Amino acid sequence: MSLISEAFKGLYGRELELESKLRYSGRFKPYGANAFRSGSYVEIRLGREWKPVSDDIKMGLVQELLLKLFKGKANTDNIDMYNSFIKKLHIAIPKDNVDPLLRESFDRVNDKYFFGLVEMPNLMIGPRSRSTLGNYNFKTDTIKISSILKKNQELMDYVMYHEVLHKKNKFNKSGSKTYYHTSKFRNEERQFENQEEVENKLKWFLRFKF
Ligand SMILES: [Zn+2]
């Protein structure tokens, strides 16, 4: 039985009555994957980093993709294994992309709020965006901060703090849904010094900077 058929059966308790194919591709970001269906054909594409990963874990990934494709909620042991694999990925990822300005910001935030205990991720200046001020990609263990914050240390540290919280908290799963900004997260976010004031400054900055 193919991995896809087995994954489907594990989820829905019946056979997948469609033709299916699993392919590896070098055209993803690290550990990327997607699935599509066209008529009676289902294809699942995995980034080539997935190739050496054990079938148990890959099965969980395929099940997550199938749940998106065919809808539904389910939790399986394989999905749990997949999620803990993803959460540990950062350990093996090389930290070879560290912007010096962001490193200073990260160190300030890490020392002040996390006792210096957060392991440094990759730190990159992102495009000049004001809709995405920062983001954390747990598959590449990279925090990206918009270049518009380069000249404002306080706001940069504030956005950095938000992203470090993402790295620290990873994500919570409930069924097939993933929650990032939980109430626990928002509470922690408010621990930033003068958070309300800084949040307001950020709003003004975004309104008038351009
Ligand atoms: Zn966020």
Q: Where are the alpha helices (DSSP H) in 95-150?
A: 100-114
| Domains 3-91 and 100-208 fall in the same CATH topology | yes
Distance 180 CA to ligand 1 centre (A): 7
Digit-coded pLDDT (tens) for 108-162:
999 999 999 999 999 999 999 988 999 998 888 999 999 999 999 999 999 999 9
Containing 209, the helix (H) or strand (E) segment is none
Residues lower than pLDDT 50 in the chain: none
pLDDT, position 140: 86
pLDDT of residue 44: 97
The mean predicted confidence, pLDDT, of the chain is 92
Q: Where are the domains of the chain?
A: 3-91, 100-208
92 Cα: distance to centroid of ligand 1 (angstroms): 23
pTM listed for this prediction: 0.69
Instruction: Choose among 99, 131, 126, 114: nearest CA to 169.
Output: 114
Distance 181 CA to ligand 1 centre (A): 6
3-91: what fold?
Zincin-like (3.30.2010)
User: What is the whole-number distance in angstroms between the Cα of residue 193 and the centre of ligand 1?
Assistant: 18
Looking at the structure, give the CATH architecture of the domain made up of residues 100-208: 2-Layer Sandwich (3.30)
